[in-house]
Structures are given as C-alpha cells and as structure tokens.
Amino acid sequence: MATNYVFDENIIRIPVLPLRGLTIFPDMILHFDVGREKSIKALDEAMKNGQMILLVAQKDVKTDLPTEKDLYKVGTIAIIRQILKLAGGSVRVMIEGMSRAEIISVIQETPFFSADVHEMAQTSSTLASAKKQAYIRKARQLFETYAELAPKMTGDVILNVVSMDDDMGRLADYIIQNISAKYTDKQKILEEKSDLLRLKKVIRILMEEIEIQKAELSIQNKVNEQLEKNQKEYFLREQIKVIQDELGENDEYAEEINAYKRAILNLKLAEEYETKLLREASRLSKMQYTSPESGVIRTYLDTCIELPWNNESKERTDIAAARRILDQDHYGLEKVKERIIEFLAVRKLSGGIKGQVLCLIGPPGTGKTSVAKSVARAMGRKYARVSLGGVRDEADIRGHRKTYIGAMPGRILNAVKQAGTKNCVILLDEIDKLGNDFRGDPASALLEVLDTEQNVAFRDHYVEIPFDLSNVLFITTANNADTIPRPLFDRMEIIELTSYTDEEKLQIAKKYLIKKQFKKSGIYGSMLKIHDDAIRRIIEEYTKESGVRTLEREIARICNKSAVLITKKTSKKISVHASDLEHFLGVAHYKKTNAEKVDRIGVVNGLAWTSVGGELLEVEACIVPGTGKIELTGNLGDVMKESAKAALTNIRKNAETLGIDKDFYKIYDIHVHFPEGAIPKDGPSAGIATATAMISALTKKPVAFDIAMTGEITITGRVLPIGGLKEKTMAAFRNGIKNVIIPKENMADVDEIDKTVKSWLNIIPVSNIDEVLNLALRFDKSAKIKKEKMPEEYISPIKTSDAPSSVINTSLPQ
C-alpha cells in the first residue's frame, strides 16, 4: 500500500471507481469494462500509487455522472491486477477484492473521485458449533439446488462451495457473488458486518432465487412443449397429406376448389374482379384444409358468391293491386299512399327510375316501418331491414377489412344478401339516431349508399368488389328531421306521417289491432267482444300517444285477461264495455278534463306540438312593481325566449295605442311563465299567446277562455305561419275550445285537419297582433261562435300536465 495514502492506522485516502449494477466482494477476482472518463482517471491514479482503488456501487444505474449522494457508503478495496486498453477509448480492467471499506468522506469529485475510507472489521458469531454447522449446511444445500436449476452454473463453483472451510462470512460472500441476485440485494450483504446475519440473508435470497428459477424453468418447458407439439403436428399433417394422396381422398378438397371456381365464373363479373376471386380460390387450393387462413378465404369466397350480383325479382306494375295492398295493410295515411302510388306509376311509365330514396318522418307508433313493408309487398320486391339506432362505427355500414380477425361485410351488403335480390327494398330504420365517435361517422358512410351518382359501384371494405346498389329502393324512417345530418337529408324525399286522430285510432283498432291480438291470444271472434265505447275510453283515458303502440298493448292486456277467464271456464263469452275497463286495465291513467271556462287576466290558451301530438299550453303573465326586468320561466329554449322578447318590443312600440303607460318597462317587472316547468319547451309559435298574456296583464283586461291561439310574432306585430296545425287543432278540440286563432298564411293547411275537428272548430285567421287582441281581449261572443254541442266521445283528457318528459315544441320540427 502506498505510504502517501495513509493518514493513520485505520483511515486511508484512495481513488474511488463508481460501478453501475455491479457489486464487488472481498476475495473476488473479476474483469469488467470501464468507459467513463472520470473512472478511467481514477484507474490511472491508482496505478501510480500502489494499484489500490475503492469499488463502490452507485444507487441508480441510469445516472451517467454520479455525485457523492449517488454512491453507497460501503464498497470494496481492490487491487488492480491488469488493465487492457480497448478501441474507442475504454479500458478492460481485472481486479481482486481485498476487504470491505466504508467511506468516511469524499475528498474530491473531479477530475476523479477520491475519498477517505476505513476498513470494516468482520464481526464473528458466537454461535455453538452445531448451529453454525446447521446454517452452513443449509446454505450449501440450497446452493446445490440452485446450481441444478441455473443454466450456466459451472462445476468448479459448486465444488468450491462444498469444499470451502467453515467460515460463514467467506461462504456467504462467495455464494452471493455467484448467483443471479439483484445488485441492491448484494449491496445489503456487502454492508453487513456480522457473518451470521450475512449468511442468513444469503439463505433467504437463495430460497427466493430457487423459486424464481423453478418458475422460469416451468415457463421454458411449456414453450418447448408447444414448439414440439407444433412441429409434431406439422409432420403428422404432412404424413396425412401423403396418405390422402395415396387413397385419393384429396379429390374431395379439389372438388370443393373447383366448385368455388365454377360458382365464381357463374357470377359473370367484370374480368378484373373475376380474376381476383379466382386468384383467391387458387390460394385456397395451396393451403392445408385445417389452416386458419384457409378458413378466412373460404368465408370470403362464400360471402362474395352469395351476393345477388345479377339476381332480380319481377316487379309488380299493377297500380290498382298496389293500392289494394296498401289499403289492406293501413288505415288512413292517404297522403303517404298517394305518394307511393305516384312513385310506382312513374316507375311503370319510365321503365324504372333509379336512385329514389324515401324518408318517412313521423312520431313513434304511426306505422313507418310497416309502411315500408307494405311498399315492398305492393311492388313485389324482397324486403330487408337495417336498424341504425345507436350505430357509431363506420365499419357497420362499409364493413371491415378482411385482414382483421372476425371481419365481415357491412350492414348494407348483409341486407342485400339476406333479401337475395339486387332490386330489393331496404328499410334504414331510425336514421335520425345515428351516432359517431373515434371509429368514424356512419352518416358519412351512408352518403355513398344513398347517392345515385355513387352507389352504382358501392365498395364494401370486406368484399372489395364494387356492387351496384342503384336498383335498390331505400326507405328511411325518422322521428325527428332535426337530427338527420343535412348532406344525408338532401339525398332523400321527405314524406311526413302525422299523428292519428281519435277516430283514426278507433278504426285502426277495429280493423287491425284487435284481430292481431285475438290471433296472438288464441281467441276467436265469438269468445270476446270489445265494444266501440270501450275502445274510445282506452284511447282517451288509458293512452297518450301519436301512434297506436300503447293502444295495442292495452288491447293485448284485455285479451290476456280474457284468455285466463276463458281457460278457467269462468265465462264462455266476454263482452267488454267502457264501464268494464277498470276490471281489465285498472284505474285510468289520464283523467277527462276540459280547459277552465273562466276569463282570466294574464292567462292565455296557447297550442303546442309534441312528439306524441298536440298540447294545450297555458301562458301566464304577471306584472309587479320593479325596475323593468322580464323573467321567463318554464324550462324554455332560446327560440321561445327570443319570441317573448320580440313580443315585449312590440308592446313597448304600441304602448300608447294599447292604453299602457309608456314607461311601464321602467317601473314594472314582467314575469311570463309556462306551467309544467319540468317539461322542456321551445319554438316561436307561442309568440302571439305570450304577447296577449303580457298585454292582458298590463291592461287588466281578461282573456276569453274559449279561445286558443298559435302563431309567431315579429317586433312589428306581424303574425307568421307555424307548423303542426293538425295536431294543434286536435289539442283544442280535445280540450273543448271552439275558437282557434291561426296565422292567415296557414289557411292552406286547414285541409289537412281531421274532418270532425274542422266541422266543430271555429278557425279564425289573423295577420297581425291587433286582430288577435280584438278577438281575445274584446271578444264578441255572438260573432262566428258555433253553438252546437261538442260530441262527448271526441273529448280527450289531454293537458300539459299529462305530457311525457319530452320537448314540447311550439312549432313543427323542420
């Protein structure tokens, strides 16, 4: 040891070499490469002064430029036995560990580490000889077990462990440096002074490493077994193939390939696509029958062959027969039927027009889906339905690439394949409920399907061969046109299905629903009789809908309960009148009430459209002292709020004419409320009702109770047209209100109103708010008021309080 490194008998100053992921023990000879400049300088310094150096591990192997805090405090003093310079500036060094040492302080960090250290004395155990031998024997036994499992353990190492003297400390050091333990675990052994504790820790580490080696060996054995199994299967398949060739059994597989090729040729596709399919069949012939890839190709060829490339059904051209079928299947819907007959007549005269896309828009339960079925039956075409509600993945429309596991064609080509003809009728149901997310926009994928210029060569991602969709008649359905993407909406011809009147529901129930439920329940006509008064009461007090789905369910409940009575032989014939409904259906869901027959200040009967029909929508206005604020409540949308503000501006403009203080907007607060605040409301056509309510409140003049009104108001007082007139007038009719104020421009829509409703109502057209006020605030009850009594069976219990939690729209959705 160099004398210039000695400061006293216990402390020495020597260079320090940080190690990454490596721990050196005393009596250990090891060579390793050194590449860091600071470490090479430390080696050079050590070679100049006695070849002694402290080897200490750094805490994080990722640290390239360690500092004092990055180094462990305990390392090994070693002698440099050999240094060999390598290409690139690094060196390979051989060292021999001498003794443990602890860093007292780091003297310098540049240009190399240098520290004052002192050697650590080993603490010998005072255990009895028997216990000492037990620990040593256990350690040797575990090491032999570890050596059997370790793949690269040499016999010399095992021999050294077995033949080593009974020094527990040396044995622990030798074992730990020859097993695949983590360097952090080795560092803990290096730092331990007690030879007994050191050996105990090594025994624990050995036990853990043995379990790890067993797990690794088990995994390796499983991998080897799988490889051997695959290799064995390969040889067996090859042998089977040779045997099948000898026996001639491969002829069946060859015949399957030939059948594919004949089917492909029979499709009479363009040469380019025919060649593509034949190439796939050739690939199949070169594969093993049980190969997974052969299954993919076989499924692809089956799909392509099953598509009706040239198969068309004969179309019915008899217009009278088509009309007869439509009348058999549906009651009413005259406009819908007329449009379909026009469509068929044009096809007959023109020899077939392509690219027609019909869109049936209407409330739920009005027969949109069944109309599409009837169209297919009337035209003599095959029918297929595609449900689009909730579809979010573009691949649902265009299919998946066949490279994906479980790939399949999209819903459009699946529907064509299901129908079996290329000129089928495909119903795209609930097109307004399409979604989109990170997987794409199915609405955009439908643009090609419904575009007459593009669907002549529609490419499904799975089939990859263009398919002609131009002969397909696409019919779409929707409840609300607002949610249909505009580019898609422009490609369709809109046919609106309005809600049914009570009389229409009665006839539908008698002609279709009752017969259908009798058949389902196994009831013959003579067993059960449901009278008209019972049906009317079900419509009025047990259902609230635009269509007839709930009505059909209530009729089904009557049939089911009747079936129980007939089965128990309680009754052979059952007759159901209105008074019997509580027994079959329970208490009525909707009470039969009419609008209040009292003139009130600031309360106006408005009319609204909802997805389940028309509603009577009261508008209330109240004037209180304040600072000119206007408060609008009732869960209103932006359009409705703007309409109220437009009405207020018109009132301020005409305040003197109306006899209102011109500064009312400064000294009063106006609160306008639409009752049933839990129900969202929007639309402009409550404008004249809102204006009338505010003027009534400001002038203290009551509003006539037997008037209902609908119309949009402008800031100049003009009354603009609205939508949903049929439903709104039905709401007035059901609530016993005879006089309905409508915009003059809506008189063209009066023909759409039900005949019974139109004959009973007094419809008054107006063009400005002054006319509305003259009728509502100064109403002459002898003018144009009908005195005949409203038929009791037509009055339905419809009030806004009964409305479901859907948007009450004061205008018809466009």
Question: What pLDDT does 2 receive?
Answer: 39
Return all residues near 515 (Cβ < 8 A) that are at least 6 apart: none
Catalytic residue among 685, 696, 796, 811: 685
Whole-Å CA distances, 555 to 124, 363, 551, 563: 97, 21, 6, 12
Catalytic residue among 38, 681, 728, 799: 728
Question: What pLDDT does 186 receive?
Answer: 87
- What is d(CA 153, CA 156) in angstroms, rounded to the nearest whole number? 9
CA dihedral 387, 392, 395, 398 (to 10 degrees): 50
- Give 623-687 as a 3 state SS string: EEECCCCEEEECCECHHHHHHHHHHHHHHHHCHHHHCCCCCHHHHEEEEEECCCCCCCEECCCCH
How many Å separate Cα 607 from the centre of its chain? Answer: 37
- What is d(CA 697, CA 372) in angstroms, rounded to the nearest whole number? 51
- Residues in a beta bridge with 57: 19
- Residues in a beta bridge with 718: 768
Peptide linkage before 675 cis (omega within 30 of 0): no
Residue 685 catalytic? yes
Task: Convert the pLDDT of each residue in 149-162 to its tens digit.
Answer: 887 777 788 888 88
DSSP-assigned states of every residue in 727-744: HHHHHHHHTT--EEEEEG
Predicted TM-score (pTM) of the model is 0.58
- What is d(CA 101, CA 85) in angstroms, rounded to the nearest whole number? 28
Q: Which helix (H) or strand (E) holds 384?
A: strand 383-387
Residue ranges in the chain whose pLDDT is less than 70: 1-9, 240-241, 243-253, 289-290, 351-355, 437-439, 591-596, 611-613, 677-678, 778-814
